[in-house]
Structure 1
Amino acid sequence: MFLYESPHILKILFCSYFLYLDRGSSKVDEAMDLYQQAANKFKMAKKWGSAGHAFTELASLHAKAGSRLDAATNYVEAGNCYKKTDPNESVNSLLKAIEIYTDMGKFTMAAKHHQSIAEIFETEVADMEKAIQHYEQASDYFRGEENNSSANKCLLKVAMFAAQMENYEKAIQIYEQVAASSLESSLLKYSAKEYMFRAALCHLCVDLTNSKIAVEKYEEMYPAFQDSRECKLLKALMNHLEDQNVDAFTDTVKEYDSISRLDQWYTTMLLRIKKSIAAEDLC
């Protein structure tokens, strides 16, 4: 139920509804114009739910009139309005737009809105599994349209969440894939060391021996990685893990962090690795 506080806007909507019931093509066009006016006025008044509802009705009219592109555009408008107040309704509107875009073969547009949905699940709803699902779909569509940069950006989000959810195998696979892809570009080559670093940390969360093998492989793939601060940190941490030296592990991380700040993802992974030393001490 939407509350329309302005009598003028309420009048517009009533006129729109009855004009649509008249079903004449000119009357439907007039109804669309009136819904557009109402939606814009609600946006100006920051009545986001009511604006979303008006854009949804307008999209429905365009769809019934066979104007699929206009329908999709207005479902996106509705989704953007609902995003301010109702994330789930925003997702529903964007999914309707995506259905139209994919049916029309506009996969880049569909990818962008899958990415928007993923961001809603990530930041507003905190449902990481659904965020992963939509980031993966966005990546697939971007890749199909040969937009590898956007595809990799979405995949890196998947890897980040996968690692947080302790699905290290999936995270490693993605980080290594994106690292290899980056090495093919002179502009992106430097960023490969970050993805190798992240992959190696995921390895360390699981197994020390495989971590050593992975780091050796990364050095072969990208010789410059061997001299990086990230690689030197990894080797130092692996030595501390072998020695089961928690204090040295902590000091090494603090020293690195004092020069290159570690974000929350890195901190989480490093704490998990550190706890593995304590767990071995208890065995």
Structure 2
Amino acid sequence: MVSFSLYIAHQFVIRCLHVLSLNNKTKTLRHNLRRKVMFGGCSFLRGAPERSNGVPAPTSDTKMDNSGKEKEATALMAEAEKKMKSSQSFFGALFGGSSKMEEACDLYVRAANMYKMAKNWCAAGNAFSQAAHLHLQMQSKHDAATNFIDAGNAFKKADPQEAINCLNRAIEIYTDMGRFTIAAKHHITIAEIYETELVDIDKAIAHYEQAADYYKGEESTSSANKCLLKVATYAAQLEQYQKAIEIYEQVGTHAMDSTLLKYSAKDHFFKAALCHFCVDMLNAKLAVQKYEEMFPAFSDSRECKLLKKLLDAYEEQNVDAYTDSVKEFDTISRLDQWLTTMLLRIKKTIQDDENDLR
């Protein structure tokens, strides 16, 4: 009887302890849920506002302004620097130094992207550049080049010269890896920055030429010719006519042998002839004859007919006939800025010759 009473008492104690345990768990769960509600972890518990289409509207804590993004980016930069310092310490080098450097790289990239969101382009470029230098230390050349390109793209919006510096670093890595097609692409980007931002045409030409060389080496003739045509355009504007003529003739010869590009050959020979005309009328006459022999379809083109009219007007020193021929051509095929410049230069030589005769 005593043993049975002890058994009943024992069971009663166990049940009491079980109930107390459940109460504690319930309190803990409530506490956790309360924390989630306070810190935004369970929006469904606090009744998130909804848009008219039933989609939850963005809450105030998701609308981070630019200054908030910059603060977050700055914190990530500081964290990355701490990782870097710890990886360089004696014990850090012994215990996972490389992994800490990788973590630092990731933090720099995250910071750079936050700066981009805040439209702080220089800070974004610097952060990407930091990541690139770390990747170089870890012998991760491809990642380093990628980050230098990212840095260059960010700097393009704020500091064109620094963008060029970063792109050049990427080009060095790609050429060292034998990735000449990608290197050529970034030479074109640098050339475009010199064209539009820094207005240094000589340097733009140099980078277009380098891109063309790399494309040729990779048998990308069409891409190389596009770069060379840019060179020819600027060479003629700078009165480097012989250089322009050689390129236009080279590209025109390649085009006339291609079924797809044949139609464009006449444009290249037309521009080459105009460059000849700027130097000497007799050279232009001989050049037109040569192009007709090389490419019979050129004879029937409007460009060739215009050249012959201009040559006749030049021989007769007839400025009005020259002007009328150009106007007639322009009514059907609009003259671009380059053609207008070349034709005006030729017209000026006729007027100068007229004045000399008087």
* Both proteins in one fold, TM over 0.5: yes
Does residue 266 (structure 1) correspond to residue 330 (structure 2)? The answer is no
Does residue 223 (structure 1) correspond to residue 296 (structure 2)? The answer is yes
In the alignment of these two chains, the number of paired residues is: 281
User: What amino acid is aligned across from residue 93 of structure 1 in structure 2?
Assistant: C
- Cα distance in 2 for partners of 1:207, 1:151 equals 29
How many angstroms does 1:9 deviate by? 1.4
Matches within 5 A, 1:271-282: 271-282=344-355
What is the aligned partner in structure 2 of residue 187 from structure 1? 260
The match for 2:242 among 157, 169, 189 is 169
The match for 1:66 among 136, 139, 157 is 139
Distance 1:141 1:4, change over 3 A: farther
CA deviation string 1:157-211 (max 9, x = no partner): 0000000000000000000000011112111111000000000000110111111
CA deviation string 1:120-141 (max 9, x = no partner): 1111111110000000000000
Asked if the contact 2:72–2:114 (Cα under 8 Å) also holds between the matched residues in 1, the reply is no
- Cα distance in 2 for partners of 1:186, 1:101 equals 34
What is the aligned partner in structure 1 of residue 275 from structure 2? 202
What is the aligned partner in structure 1 of residue 176 from structure 2? 103
Q: If you compute each CA radius of gyration, which structure gives the higher value, 1 or 2? A: 2
How many angstroms does 1:71 deviate by? 0.3
- Cα distance in 2 for partners of 1:263, 1:230 equals 14
- Cα distance in 1 for partners of 2:241, 2:86 equals 59
Asked if the contact 2:69–2:118 (Cα under 8 Å) also holds between the matched residues in 1, the reply is no
Asked if the contact 2:69–2:114 (Cα under 8 Å) also holds between the matched residues in 1, the reply is no
What is the aligned partner in structure 2 of residue 250 from structure 1? 323
Asked if the contact 1:4–1:50 (Cα under 8 Å) also holds between the matched residues in 2, the reply is no
What SS does structure 2 have at the residue aligned with 1:186?
coil
How many angstroms does 1:5 deviate by? 7.1
- Cα distance in 2 for partners of 1:4, 1:141 equals 44
How many angstroms does 1:4 deviate by? 9.6
What is the aligned partner in structure 1 of residue 232 from structure 2? 159
- Cα distance in 1 for partners of 2:73, 2:305 equals 65
Asked if the contact 2:70–2:118 (Cα under 8 Å) also holds between the matched residues in 1, the reply is no
What SS does structure 1 have at the residue aligned with 2:310?
helix
Does residue 116 (structure 1) correspond to residue 189 (structure 2)? The answer is yes
Does residue 237 (structure 1) correspond to residue 310 (structure 2)? The answer is yes
Matches within 5 A, 1:8-157: 8-23=72-87, 24-157=97-230
TM-score by length of 1: 0.97
- Cα distance in 2 for partners of 1:184, 1:144 equals 20
Structure 2 gap segments, 5+ residues each: 1-66, 88-96
Distance 1:152 1:88, change over 3 A: same
Which moved further from structure 2: 45-54 or 222-231? 45-54
CA deviation string 1:54-108 (max 9, x = no partner): 1000100101110001000110011111111111111000000000001111100
- Cα distance in 2 for partners of 1:8, 1:116 equals 31
Distance 1:244 1:4, change over 3 A: farther
- Cα distance in 2 for partners of 1:137, 1:126 equals 18
User: What amino acid is aligned across from residue 64 of structure 1 in structure 2?
Assistant: Q
- Cα distance in 2 for partners of 1:192, 1:44 equals 46
- Cα distance in 2 for partners of 1:69, 1:274 equals 54
Distance 1:4 1:199, change over 3 A: farther
Asked if the contact 2:70–2:114 (Cα under 8 Å) also holds between the matched residues in 1, the reply is no
CA deviation string 1:200-240 (max 9, x = no partner): 00011011111111001111111010000000000000000
How many angstroms does 1:7 deviate by? 2.1
Does residue 6 (structure 1) correspond to residue 70 (structure 2)? The answer is yes
Which moved further from structure 2: 128-137 or 9-18? 9-18
- Cα distance in 1 for partners of 2:312, 2:301 equals 17
Asked if the contact 2:124–2:154 (Cα under 8 Å) also holds between the matched residues in 1, the reply is yes
How many angstroms does 1:282 deviate by? 2.3
RMSD: 1.2
